[in-house]
Chains A and B, each alone.
Chain A
Amino acid sequence: MSHKDLIEKLAAEASVVKRPLGAGISTAVWVGCSILLLAAAFATVLTLRNDLSSVAGRVWFLLNLLSLVAVFIFASYAGFVSSIPGRARPVKALAAVQLALLGFFLTLIPSLLHMPFENSFRLGINLSGLKCTCALALLGVVPALLLFFAVRRLAPVDRSSTAKMVGLAMGAMGAFGLSFDCMVPNAVHILVYHGLPIVLLGLAGVLVGDKILRW
Chain B
Amino acid sequence: MRQAQQGDVASYKELLEGARVILLVYASRTLRRMGLHDQGSVDDLVQETLLAVHAKRHTYDPAQLFTPWLFAIARYKLIDFGRSRKRAGVVVGLEQVEDVLEAPVFADPTTETDLKVLMEQLPKKTRLILELVKLEGLSIAETAARTQMSESAIKVTVHRALKALRLRLSKKDME
Residues in chain A within 8 A of chain B (CB atoms)? 1, 3, 6-8, 10-20, 83-88, 154-155, 157, 214-215
Contacts and interface: CB of A to CB of B under 8 A. Distances in A.
Interface of B: 4-9, 12-13, 16-17, 20, 43, 46-47, 50-52, 54-61, 64-65, 68-73, 75-76, 80, 170, 173-174
Contacts of B16: 7, 10-11
A155 B75 CA distance: 13
Contacts, number: 86
A206 B17 CA distance: 36
B58 A17 contact: yes
Contacts of B5: 16-17, 19
A20 B58 CA distance: 7
Q: How would you classify the secondary structure of chain A's contact residues: helix, strand, loop or mixed?
A: loop
A83 B50 CA distance: 18
Contacts of B60: 85-86
Given A7-B50, A17-B57, A85 B13 contact: no
Q: Which residue of A12, A18, A154, A215 has the most chain B CB atoms within 10 A of its CB atom? A: A215
A48 B156 CA distance: 67
Given A14-B7, A154-B59, A85 B50 contact: no
Nearest to A83: B59
A86 B76 CA distance: 11
Given A3-B43, A3-B50, A12-B9, 20 more contacts: A6-B50, A7-B13, A7-B16, A8-B13, A11-B9, A13-B54, A14-B4, A14-B12, A17-B5, A19-B58, A20-B58, A84-B59, A85-B60, A86-B72, A155-B56, A155-B73, A155-B76, A157-B72, A157-B76, A215-B55
A20 B173 contact: no
B72 A6 contact: no
B13 A16 contact: no
Contacts of B54: 10, 13
